[in-house]
Amino acid sequence: MALKIRLRQQGCNNRQTFRVVVTDVRCKRDGKYVEKLGWYLPYLADNNCSIDGERLKFWLSQGATMSEQVESLARSVTPDVIKEYREQKIEIQKKKTAKRRASGAKTASPKEEVKAAAPKKAAKKASVKK
């Protein structure tokens, strides 16, 4: 099950409130969710957002991804969690690129051998047909 941390819309038409929730990506915007992590009240000037940093960190470690809006809210409320998340993401990308480069160097030489052998076979077939 792919999880996403996103905003869930609540409230009246002209007085919207949002919950920060962990949900399956296949669920609707206002559908069921796994866990509530916090809330966001856009009409308040001060103290308009609350997110549980420990639970956010837990769900990110489990492989959940954040929407852009939640990431910007979390950056203002729990900057240390976001900083750790980005550092881990960068490390994973570096490992993947290193692995891809290492596997690319190993497989490059057999491909070159196959390409070099292919024209010789074509030349033999051409002489046989005559």
Report pLDDT digits (tens) over 28-52: 887 888 999 999 998 888 888 999 9
Same domain, 13 and 63: yes
We report the CATH number of the domain holding residue 65 as 3.30.1320.10
Structural domain harbouring 120: 79-130
Give pTM, 2 decimals.
Answer: 0.68
Same domain, 73 and 84: no
Report residue 44 as tokens. 């308040």
pLDDT of residue 14: 87
Q: What is the pLDDT of residues 54-67, one digit of tens each?
A: 999 999 989 899 99
Same domain, 42 and 101: no
Same domain, 47 and 110: no
Same domain, 68 and 49: yes
Same domain, 19 and 38: yes
